[in-house]
Amino acid sequence: MVWTLQFFHLLGEYPHLSRSQIVSMMRSNKYLRERHAILATTSTEELEKAVGELKQTIEQSRNTDEENKLLTPEEEKWARDFLKAYREMEEGKAKKAEEKKQTPWQKQPEPTRPWEIQVEEELTKIQSLEEIEDINILLPVLYKGKWGYINDKGQIAINPQFDSASAFSEGLARVKVSEEWGYIDKAGNIVIMPQFEDSLDFSEGLASVKINAKWGYIDRIGKLVIKPRFDYARNFSKGLALIRIDGKFGPFDWKHGYTDKTERLVVPLRFEDAGDFSEGLAYVRIDGKYGYIDKVAKLVIKPQFSDAGNFSEGLACVKISGKWGYIDKVAKLVIKPQFYIAGEFSEGLASVMTEAMDLLAGSIGKWGYINKAGEVVIKSQFDFTNRFSEDLARVRINAKEGYIDRSGEYVIQPQFDDGVDFSKGIAMVKINNKLGYINKAGEYLWEPGE
Could you give the 3-state DSSP secondary structure of residue 110? coil
Residue 284 near residue 256, CB atoms below 8 Å: yes
Q: In what order do the strands lie in the sheet with 299-305?
A: 273-274, 282-286, 289-293, 299-305
The larger pLDDT score, comparing residue 136 to residue 67, is at 136
Return mean pLDDT, the chain.
82
Find all residues with CB under 8 Å of 236, minimum gap 6, and list them. 203, 204, 205, 206, 217, 261
Lowest mean pLDDT among 68-77, 351-360, 426-435: 68-77
The DSSP call for residue 65 is -
Q: Once rounded to an integer, what is the mean pLDDT over residues 183-210?
A: 97
Taking only the tens place, the pLDDT of each residue in 336-382 is 999 999 999 999 999 999 987 765 655 678 999 999 999 999 999 99
| Torsion of Cα atoms, 367 then 371 then 374 then 379, to 10° | -30
| Torsion of Cα atoms, 285 then 289 then 294 then 299, to 10° | -120
Percent of the chain at pLDDT above 90? 63
Distance of alpha carbon 325 from alpha carbon 309, whole angstroms: 11
Distance of alpha carbon 313 from alpha carbon 322, whole angstroms: 24
Q: In what order do the strands lie in the sheet with 384-389?
A: 384-389, 392-397, 400-404, 410-416
Q: How confident is the model at residue 238 (pLDDT cuts 50, 70, 90)?
A: confident
DSSP letters for 247-301:
ETTEEEEEEEEEE-TTS-EEEEEEESEE---BTTBEEEEETTEEEEE-TTS-EEE
DSSP letters for 126-172:
HHHHHHHHHHS-EEEEEETTEEEEEETTS-EEEEEEESEEEEEETTE
The DSSP call for residue 423 is B
pLDDT of residue 365: 85
The answer to whether the predicted template modeling score (pTM) of the entire model surpasses 0.85 is no
**In terms of residues, how long is the chain?**
450
Distance of alpha carbon 240 from alpha carbon 235, whole angstroms: 8
Report the interhelical angle of 44-62 vs 73-102 (nearest 10°). Answer: 140
The larger pLDDT score, comparing residue 135 to residue 165, is at 165
DSSP letters for 312-324:
ETTEEEEEETTEE
